[in-house]
Amino acid sequence: MLSATGSLRNRKHLAEEIQDGSWASKARQPIMCCKTHAAYGCDYIIRYRRRRARSLKFAFLFHVVEVVVVVVVVVVKVVGVAVAVVLLVVVLVVLVLVVVAVVVVIIIIIIVVVVVVVVVVVVVVVVVVVVVIVRVIVLVSGKLRASGIRFIMLG
* Burial annotation 91-116 (CB, 10 A radius, 16+ → b, else e): eeeeeeeeeeeeeeeeeeeeeeeeee
pLDDT in tens, the chain (155 residues): 444 445 555 555 555 555 555 555 554 444 444 555 545 555 555 555 555 555 666 666 677 777 777 877 787 788 777 777 888 888 889 989 999 999 999 999 999 999 999 999 999 999 999 999 998 888 887 776 666 665 555 54
Segments making up each domain of the chain, as ranges: 8-57, 66-125
DSSP, res 31: P
Q: List the Cα angle 66/16/41 in 5-degree steps.
A: 110
Is the overall model pTM greater than 0.85, yes or no?
no
DSSP, res 29: S
